[in-house]
Amino acid sequence: MTQVTVIGAAGYVGIELCRELLRRGHQVTAVTRPNGRFLLDRLGVRVEGPEPLTRLVPPEVVINLAYPNRGRVSEYPRRNAELLSMIRHLAGEGARIIHLSTQAVFGYALEYPVVPAPVADRKDYLYVESKIELENLLARVARGNELHIVRMGNVWGPASPGWTAALADKLLFGDVVGVLGADGFSNVTDVGNVVSYVAELVTVPGSSGIQYHHLAEFSDTPWSWWIGRLEARLHVAPVYAAASAFYPSTITEELLASLAIHSPRTMAHQWLAGRFTGSWLRTGVRAMPGWLTSRFGRGEGRPTAGPGRGQPAAPGDAIFLSVMSAKRQFKTVVPAPWTPPVDREAAWQAAARWLDHAGY
């Protein structure tokens, strides 16, 4: 039995992970925001946080799934710093740290080289920047701890809010689910496999330094495979965009595209939400005094397949479509041999059972 503390435990993966850790007989303490407590109460884990953290029972393993996903754009670095401070406080000198991250550190369209190694800080969408920053902060400060950075592909599973549920909603109400003729690699990992792998990491023999892991056991399965099964189950026909939405690869491209916008308000909005323009504007905002930055808007949160807005040109849809037409794979890379317990057919069947239960 291992003492494990899970930060960000009330999220989709977090809850499933707590269940799996308990099933394996570990002692689990969950850390979450106050409004997430009730999600964990029925699991039988000890719930704390986010403050004060008692550290009554020093954990042997600290697993972090949290990331800044709300608040003003100017607050994200501070929230990452707070998260880092919490992880360090809980882990102390000796605990193993397992940090769950995302394939998006290589760009939503995986346009940067996909390697199980550090990724340099760069200008990008807020969520991506923030994820890269937290990986690197941890790598810098966790020198006395064993650190595992686990980057996940697109997390599939029953009721997965980012993908399974969102794709079913899109199909039901006719939002686009991809680009015509551009069927991308799905780079999917099943939630059952994620929690199984992370639970294995809790008890593997100790190693030194930092290890990077990539999880996407169905990376070579095209999106059409998942969409095809969903459409057959829901008895609906999918809608595809005729062309890919604009996904900028340089700031020049982004600025040139914005010249086509005639309304100053729309242009300002586009810049704020833009990949590179938004990043530079955020840098400027953070240099301003606090009373001024409080006037700037909130972050866009975690962009996934979330509710469609019927306007494929919107930035969130451009990100979604770039993921759905990804030409590159995010392959599983794990340091030791591992057999995922959930195969592709089982992953689909579990989702299909949830579709029935959920009223689709």
Task: Report the interface residues with other proteins, using CB under 8 A.
Answer: 10-12, 33-35, 37-39, 42, 158-161, 164-165, 168-169, 172-175, 235-236, 307-311, 358-360
Question: CB of 340: closest distance to other proteins in angstroms?
Answer: 23
Q: Which is nearer to other proteins, 309 or 327 (CB)?
A: 309
Question: CB of 41: closest distance to other proteins in angstroms?
Answer: 9
Number of Cβ within 10 Å of residue 151's Cβ equals 25
Question: CB of 161: closest distance to other proteins in angstroms?
Answer: 5
Question: CB of 15: closest distance to other proteins in angstroms?
Answer: 8
Q: Which is nearer to other proteins, 174 or 228 (CB)?
A: 174
Q: Which is nearer to other proteins, 12 or 67 (CB)?
A: 12
Q: Which is nearer to other proteins, 107 or 238 (CB)?
A: 238
- Rounded distance between C-alpha atoms, residue 105 and residue 59, angstroms: 28
- Rounded distance between C-alpha atoms, residue 134 and residue 151, angstroms: 12
Going by C-alpha positions, the residue among 317, 15, 23, 6 that lies closest to residue 159 is 15
Question: CB of 100: closest distance to other proteins in angstroms?
Answer: 17
Q: Which helix (H) or strand (E) holds 3?
A: strand 3-7
- Rounded distance between C-alpha atoms, residue 45 and residue 66, angstroms: 17
Q: Which is nearer to other proteins, 16 or 135 (CB)?
A: 16
DSSP 251-293: HHHHHHHHTT---HHHHHHHHHHSSHHHHHHHHHHHTS-HHHH
Q: Which is nearer to other proteins, 107 or 178 (CB)?
A: 178
Question: CB of 245: closest distance to other proteins in angstroms?
Answer: 15
Q: Which is nearer to other proteins, 34 or 289 (CB)?
A: 34
Question: CB of 71: closest distance to other proteins in angstroms?
Answer: 11
Question: CB of 308: closest distance to other proteins in angstroms?
Answer: 7
- Rounded distance between C-alpha atoms, residue 186 and residue 224, angstroms: 8
Token pair belonging to 117: 């190694």
CB 283 within 8 A of CB 74: no
Dihedral sign for Cα atoms in the order 206, 207, 212, 218: negative
Question: CB of 315: closest distance to other proteins in angstroms?
Answer: 15
Q: Which is nearer to other proteins, 21 or 355 (CB)?
A: 355
- Rounded distance between C-alpha atoms, residue 127 and residue 108, angstroms: 10
Dihedral sign for Cα atoms in the order 133, 305, 111, 124: negative
- Rounded distance between C-alpha atoms, residue 155 and residue 165, angstroms: 11
- Which residues, in sequence order, are bridge partners of residue 298? 72
Q: Which helix (H) or strand (E) holds 67?
A: none
Torsion of CA 339, 340, 343, 346, to 10 degrees: 130
DSSP 164-202: HHHHHHHHHTT-EEEETTB--B--EEEHHHHHHHHHHHH
Q: Which is nearer to other proteins, 15 or 215 (CB)?
A: 15
